[in-house]
Amino acid sequence: MGPARGSLVAAGGGALGPEIWERFVALAGGDTSRIVVVPTAGTGPEPSGARAVAALEAAGASRVVVLHTRDAGVADTDSFAAPLRSATGVWFPGGRQWRLVEAYAGTRTLAEV
């Protein structure tokens, strides 16, 4: 663990009200935020993170990108991890959290988070 680099919003266990999304966007910089959604824990072969993107945009985020792979080799490349370098917020939607470990443990992507 390094020095604190921001805020943590832990939410889960069901539907999230708009106040959660609005607070997250505010903590990430409001209308100048740069948010990365990582839907890798989701179900299905290619989780999209579309619901999270829509909720973040409705809460005022204007720059939201999705970053997803289940291939640790891809996750360990500089080009894949690049969006995280300028991110002011990272959102992990729910799902099977072990998928995050399988895809990102020990990679450049995890180092950027």
In the chain, what is the straight-line distance between the N-terminal and C-terminal CA atoms, in Å? 12
Residue 45 confidence (pLDDT) above 90: no
Which residues lie below 8 Å from residue 108, measured CB to CB, with a gap of 6+? 75, 76, 77, 78, 80, 81
pLDDT of res. 44: 77
Pairing assessment for the beta strands 34-37 and 89-91 based on DSSP bridges:
parallel
pLDDT of res. 70: 95
pLDDT of res. 2: 55
pLDDT of res. 4: 64
